[in-house]
Structure 1
């Protein structure tokens, strides 16, 4: 069947990899900067500011890609700002057809204005609750808490994950520059999380290759891989290497973000992205946004890209959505209900 933009927009979507501080509305950045006294925005025109973030991100370098976060994090230093940003994120995602999202953020990035880590988490969670309510509960948003891999103190963030896991925080992640800061830096943190029966994903296979994935999976025990696209370097034609086969056979989900992967240099162009190849080889691939502001993208855009560039059919879109729901850090009954009561009926109706 022909997949019109209306069908792509209406398709139920599950989002596993989205950064809160990478998804602000440009107008919100401007207003929060004015309210907080944040200096240095390149422009106060929302359209031009959005373009600036995208051009800064579209450099082929993860390091430069991350520079724009100085402005978004800079305006997210008080409780009111965090509540607003989180609420708008939930509403924006619901408007893109997302029925379940796991949005991640690093609490330590929001403490420069005097907030404690706990205050930052509670403000964001309150924002998600308000945003969900504003949509009539059309979306459910859970949180992943990130430790910054270039910094020490991963354990304190892991502690927060366990402390707030009954308040909407469903897992742990490490984010930031991948190359030079491997998951093996603080292995006891991941061991402790497993002992606490807590979930975690790890950014790997974006700015570094299969060795980074190997460390994340075999040393740290990652349940999912943030991006993970460079697993393709362990595949030669139809021959799937031992690491790639392990990731595939264990159903370790790949949180692929096609637009962002081009901007950070993980792949050269969208045409080079291995999404289609990995799906055809049986990997548990999912579609995600990464940073909606930085890459000027949305879940609708990522789905449309999958259709236009990779030839995805409606069945393919349903498959990656079910993949994401199956890999979500929710209890099994809730994942099953999401699939059986929301996703499959939604696609059947299309």
Structure 2
């Protein structure tokens, strides 16, 4: 499929709770091959890592290139990570613990590998190729089932000493509020995530206040997806629009706090909810920003909607692998088959 004689190829991998995607890019970061699979995290880390290796092998086969031509592999991963060691410390939604993914991939494919937080990968992708191009301090916020945040500062992913940071979804916004999945109360995710809003919307539908939603999706949270919310708001379910706008306002309030701390010049909103309702989210977030940011920061930022969609994570992970190789070239690692044993 690829007849390019010169240049290295880069492979980006987006590891999600329900699906995984692998994309092969040429040295201009044009996609050559992409494949998706269900993650099946419940089958365990050993099986999951074998699935990762399998999909990478399939992508290389379809692209008609050998692993020797890979410049590097980048993986965006959920959960707490040891970024220095390349270990998934814990992925709660997958049930994985202490998975030395970087070591496994480097030994298997004989090229440098790097891992980063999945949201960081998406924000870095937008910084390099999407809505954040030319930004100095780029903040990305992605509301979905939870709420993810990431920051790129002067071309580098902003991080803690060993792990990722910017868990904006767990900023406290409601004193003594609802219990969050993290175990704390009143986090942003309890009022502004799609899951939280869908729960309130389901209750409204049960009370007969959202007839279009009740007809289209019922009260099952699994059926109340981003596209459905946009559809029923357009059809006239005012209570649904009100609940989503309330959530977007909370989101904007939290982002305003980050602006006052870090003064980003670009703020990117992304994820399925924003893609389905871009005007609603940008309106409410902008209003919140104007209410809460310090006067000194007025007019210093641009609020943008993400451009890369589902490709952001894989593209950002691949580009971060390239950046990591350029800034600190590792020694060559011989390729060999390894098992998915965990430390």
* TM-score, reference length from structure 2: 0.33
More helix by share: 1
Q: Which protein is bigger by CA-based radius of gyration?
A: 2
More strand by share: 2
